[in-house]
Amino acid sequence: DAKTTQPPSMDCAEGRAANLPCNHSTISGNEYVYWYRQIHSQGPQYIIHGLKNNETNEMASLIITEDRKSSTLILPHATLRDTAVYYCIVRVESKLTFGTGTRLQVTL
């Protein structure tokens, strides 16, 4: 099973870029990397996913290393509303398995 490792917490100043790392060294060739976030007591929200190439959407950018063993989620201009727990997930068969994620605190 591919599993992920994330730092438990990070801080970021408002307006600066937030770079959230994720290690998934056992990922297999056809497994996607997904990022979700969860604001306190709400359901997780999908952010972005990728396989090999870097991806960007209106919320964030995803940078995946060439060997696919790690990735970084980038929030280019963090705001207070980005304070949340961010989950990096790799599919295991037909289900997504969540770890404990990174708690991002955006401060003034």
Partner 1 sequence: DGGITQSPKYLFRKEGQNVTLSCEQNLNHDAMYWYRQDPGQGLRLIYYSQIVNDFQKGDIAEGYSVSREKKESFPLTVTSAQKNPTAFYLCASSIFWQGGANVLTFGAGSRLTVL
The distance of closest approach from Cβ of residue 82 to partner 1 in the complex, given in angstroms and rounded to an integer, is: 18
Nearer to partner 1, 16 or 52 (CB): 52
Shortest reach from residue 17's CB to partner 1, in Å: 24
With beta carbons less than 8 A apart as the criterion, state whether 3 and 22 touch: no
CB closer to partner 1 out of 45 and 107: 45
- DSSP states of 59-99 as a string? S-EEEE-TTSSEEEEEETT--GGG-EEEEEEEEETTEE---
- Residue 30 CB, shortest distance to partner 1, in Å, is 7
- Give every CB contact of residue 36 below 8 A, 6+ residues apart in sequence: 44, 45, 46, 47, 86, 87, 89, 98
Name which of 93 and 108 has its Cβ closer to partner 1: 93
Name the maximum alpha-carbon separation found in the chain: 41
Binding site for partner 1 (CB under 8 A): 30, 32, 34, 36, 41-46, 49, 51, 87, 91, 94-101
- Cβ 69 to partner 1 shortest distance, Å: 19
